[in-house]
Amino acid sequence: MTIRAGKESPVVVRSGKQRTSDFILPALFAVVVLFLYYLLYLFRGIDDSRLSSWHDVFTNGFPLKTAWSLIVALAVAFLLSVLKLPRKRPVLFLFSASFVISAFFWHEPEIIVDASRYFTQAKHLEMYGIGYFFREWGGAINAWTDLPVMPFLYGIMFSIFGEHRIVIALFNSILYSSAVVLTYLTGKELWNDEAGLYGGIFLLGIPYLYTQVPLMLVDVPAMFFFILAVYTAIRALRTGGMMIAAASLSIFCAVFVKYSAGLMLTVLLPILVVELLVNRQKERDRVALRGMIVCFASFFLISLAIAFLHDVIMQQVHLLLTFQGPGLRRWGESLLAIFFFQVHPVIAILAAAAVAIAIWKKDFTFIVAAWVVLLALLLPIRRIRYLIMTFPMLCLMASYGLTHVTRVMNTGFISLATAACSFALAYTAFLPFQQSTSAQNIRNAALYLNSFDVTSVEVMTPLPKDYVMNPATSVPLFDLFLRAPIRYRYRGTDYPLPEDLATSPLRFTWSYMNPRYYTGRLSSEKTAVAVITDGTEQEYDQELYERIKRFSQKKIFAVRDDVYQHQTLITVYH
C-alpha cells in the first residue's frame, strides 16, 4: 500500500504479502520468457525470415549458450527494476543503454549487399563535393531506388572524420539511441511518462534491430527520422513557435530518406484530428493554424526537391511499381516470423492486447500509435526491413498495454526483461551467425591488409561461377573496410546476365558501374592484389595469373555458408 504525505514526500509502506509478490511475479514471468524461448527454438523451422531466421541461426549454433545468457539477462533486468535506474534519469538511461548495447555489434560484417550502393554514393560526395553530389544524383551517381538524404549524411561523415566503417557504425548508433529517446518522449506526449519509458525500453526489445544498427543502410536512420517527424509534429501542434520549423524540416528529411516513409507519414493526419478533438474550441483554431503551416511548409520543401529531381524520381517510381512492389510478394516473410521470432513475442502480445484495451476505453489517442502498424498489416508489406520504421509505434502500443496491467504485474521488470533477453539473443545467436557467413570474408581480408603498410590494392573480380550476383558490387564493401586506396578495372561487360534478371532480388548489382575514382594509377611499391570471386584459383584466367605471379605471399579468406545464394571469397596476394 502507498500512502502519500503531501506532493513531494511519498511514504511507501509494504506488507509482507506485497514484498513476497515482488519476487514471485518476476520469477513467474522469467519462467514464461524461458518457456517462450524454448517454444520458438522448438518450432524454429517455421521462421522464414530472410536474414537471420532461427532455423539458420541455430543449425550450427549453441542454444544452451543462449539459454544461459537469457538467465543472466533476466537477473540483470530484475536488478535494474529493483534499483529503478530507468525512472531516475529516463533520457540519460535510454540513450546511454541503447548506445552501449548497439556498440557490441559494430564488428558485424556488412551482411546486406545494398550497402555498396550507399557507400558508392557517399564516396562521390567525399571525393567530388556537395555540388557534384546533387548535380549528378541519378546520373553519374547511380541512385537505383535510393533517396539522397542518408548518402548525403554518410558522405558528410566521411568528409569530416575520414572513410572508416566505424564512423558509420557510430553515427547509426547515435541515430538509433536518439530514436529510443524520441519514442519515450512521444509516449510521454501521448499519454504519460510511464508509457513513454516502457515504449523506449521496448524498442531495445527487438533482437533483429540490433543487427541492423551498424550497417551502412537507410532503414534504422529512416526509423529515426520518422519518429522525429512524429514527435516534432505533436509538439508543433501543441506549442507552435520553433517546433513548427523543426516539424517541417523533419518531415522533409523523412520523406527523402526512404520512399515508404511518405506512406507512413500519413500518421500526421490522425495526429491532427486527435489534437483537434482533445482541445477546447479556443485552442482548436490555434491547432488548426499550426497544422496548416506545418503542412504548407513541408509541402513546399518537398515540392522543391521533387522539381529538382523530377526525372530521377519518375524513373525510380516506375522501378518501384514494376519491380520492387511485385518483388515484395515474392521475397516476403510471414507475420509470425516477423512479430514472434524477430520481434520479442511479449511486445507483439502486449500490442495486440492494447488494441482491445483502447477500444474498450475509447481512447482516440491510441490511433496515433496504432496507425502505421495497422497500415503495414493491411498493405502487403511482408518484409521486416520495410517495417523497421514502424517499430517505435509498435513499442508504444505495447507500452500502452503494459501500463494497464500495473496492478497485477511488475511492469518495470517486464519491459527490462524483454530488452535484456532480446540483446542476449541477438548477441549470442544472431551476431555469431552473421559472422559465420561469407560476408565476413570481406571484413577479414580488409583488416588483414590494413595490418600491412600497403600503398594501394588492385582488386580483380574474375568471371563468377554462379551468376547470382555481380562480384564487382563487393568492391565498394571491401573499400569500406580497407584503409589503402583501391584500383579496379570494371569487368561487368564480360559477364553474361542471369536468366532471372527481371525478378532477381540482386538485379541492381548488374547495373553497377565502376566509379572513376577507382581508375587511378597503381603505386609502384608496396602493392597487393585482392581477388574477389565465388570460386577457386582453378577458375582464374591467364590475365589474372600474370598479375599475381610476382607475389610470394597469399592468404585465402573462404568462409562459406549454406544460407545465402551468393558466396564472396577473397584471396589476397602481397
556-566 tens-digit pLDDT: 998 888 888 78
> pLDDT tens digits, residue range 229-265?
999 999 999 999 999 999 999 999 999 999 999 999 9
Q: Are 474 and 461 in contact (CB under 8 A)?
A: yes
Confirm whether 328 is domain-assigned: yes
Given this model, what pLDDT does residue 59 score? 82
Q: Are residues 184 and 274 in the same domain?
A: yes
Given this model, what pLDDT does residue 11 score? 37
Q: Are residues 257 and 344 in the same domain?
A: yes
Confirm whether 1 is domain-assigned: no
Determine the Cα–Cα distance for residues 230 and 563; give it in Å rounded to an integer. Answer: 38
User: Is the pLDDT reported for residue 371 higher than 90?
Assistant: yes
The region of weakest confidence among 21-35, 82-96, 361-375 is 21-35
Q: Are residues 243 and 151 in the same domain?
A: yes
Mean pLDDT value of segment 144-157: 95
Q: Are 570 and 531 in contact (CB under 8 A)?
A: yes
Give the pairing type, strands 569-573 and 554-557: antiparallel
Confirm whether 7 is domain-assigned: no
Determine the Cα–Cα distance for residues 335 and 379; give it in Å rounded to an integer. Answer: 12
Given this model, what pLDDT does residue 491 score? 61
**Backbone phi, psi, residue 15, to 5°:** -80, 165
Confirm whether 474 is domain-assigned: yes
> pLDDT tens digits, residue range 8-35?
333 334 444 445 556 788 888 899 999 9
First to last CA, the chain: 73
Given this model, what pLDDT does residue 21 score? 56
Confirm whether 237 is domain-assigned: yes
Q: Which residues, including other chains, have CB under 8 Å from residue 557's CB and lie 6 or more apart?
A: 441, 444, 445, 448, 569, 570, 571, 572
Give the Å distances, CA to CA, from 403 to 196, 264, 358, 412.
10, 26, 12, 10
Question: Pick from 435, 450, 478: which residue ends a domain?
Answer: 435
Q: Are residues 525 and 548 in the same domain?
A: yes
| DSSP assignment letter at 137 | B
Confirm whether 554 is domain-assigned: yes
Give the Å distances, CA to CA, from 350 to 180, 378, 534.
18, 19, 45
Given this model, what pLDDT does residue 492 score? 54
User: Is the pLDDT reported for residue 168 higher than 90?
Assistant: yes
Given this model, what pLDDT does residue 432 score? 93
Determine the Cα–Cα distance for residues 564 and 572; give it in Å rounded to an integer. Answer: 23
Whole-prediction pTM:
0.92
Q: Are 266 and 371 in contact (CB under 8 A)?
A: yes
Q: Are residues 464 and 355 in the same domain?
A: no
User: Is the pLDDT reported for residue 40 higher than 60?
Assistant: yes
Q: Are residues 399 and 546 in the same domain?
A: no
Q: Are residues 226 and 308 in the same domain?
A: yes
Look at the block and give the residue holding cell 542471369. Answer: 498
Determine the Cα–Cα distance for residues 77 and 56; give it in Å rounded to an integer. Answer: 28
Determine the Cα–Cα distance for residues 247 and 255; give it in Å rounded to an integer. Answer: 12
Question: Pick from 393, 408, 435: which residue ends a domain?
Answer: 435
Q: Which residues, including other chains, have CB under 8 Å from residue 349's CB and lie 6 or more apart?
A: none
Q: Are residues 374 and 446 in the same domain?
A: no
Confirm whether 395 is domain-assigned: yes
Q: Are residues 366 and 511 in the same domain?
A: no
**Number of domains the chain is built from:** 2
Given this model, what pLDDT does residue 15 score? 45
Determine the Cα–Cα distance for residues 485 and 142; give it in Å rounded to an integer. Answer: 21
Confirm whether 6 is domain-assigned: no
Given this model, what pLDDT does residue 379 score? 84
Determine the Cα–Cα distance for residues 423 and 421; give it in Å rounded to an integer. Answer: 5
Range of the structural domain that residue 249 is part of: 23-435
Q: Are residues 48 and 167 in the same domain?
A: yes
> pLDDT tens digits, residue range 408-445?
678 889 999 999 999 999 999 999 999 999 999 999 99
> pLDDT tens digits, residue range 531-543?
998 866 556 777 7
- The winner for highest mean pLDDT among 185-189, 472-476, 521-525, 558-562 is 185-189
pLDDT band at 373 (very low <50, low <70, confident <90, very high): very high
> pLDDT tens digits, residue range 194-232?
999 999 999 999 999 999 999 999 999 999 999 999 999
At residue 46, the 3 state secondary structure works out as: helix
Q: Are residues 395 and 533 in the same domain?
A: no
**Backbone phi, psi, residue 464, to 5°:** -70, 150
At residue 573, the 3 state secondary structure works out as: strand
Q: Are residues 363 and 512 in the same domain?
A: no
**Taking all residues of the chain, what is their mean pLDDT, rounded to a whole number?**
88
User: Is the pLDDT reported for residue 394 higher than 70?
Assistant: yes
Question: Pick from 435, 452, 470: which residue ends a domain?
Answer: 435
Look at the block and give the residue holding cell 481512447. Answer: 363
